[in-house]
Amino acid sequence: MDDDTEAPAHARFNQGRLIMLVLAVFFAYHVLWPEGFDATFEWFSALIGALAFIALFKYKAGIMQVIGACAVLGLGYSILL
């Protein structure tokens, strides 16, 4: 095997970013529209996502605490409805 065929480091980095973006879009679609675009939009899921984003990036909260808080909010919402 020839090592010259390996992609440069910046190309591998960009491929990794693209994969992360595709996965984010895939999961967002299935969370926000669980029954497809013809069904209703899940506003509560979008609200939890926005709150998690703010907690992580503005208030620098820990990822485990944010995941736990989102899980509790989602569980409480599903129990109440």
pLDDT tens digits along 1-25? 555 677 777 777 788 889 999 999 9
Please say whether the dihedral angle defined by the alpha carbons of residues 59, 61, 63 and 66, taken in this order, is positive or negative.
negative
33 vs 10, residue with greater confidence: 33
56 vs 9, residue with greater confidence: 56
pLDDT band at 46 (very low <50, low <70, confident <90, very high): very high
Quote the distance between the C-alpha of residue 3 and its chain's center: 35
Answer whether 15's CB lies under 8 Å from 24's CB.
Answer: no
CA–CA separation, 8 vs 41, rounded Å?
41
Average pLDDT on 29-48 reads: 96
pTM here?
Answer: 0.75
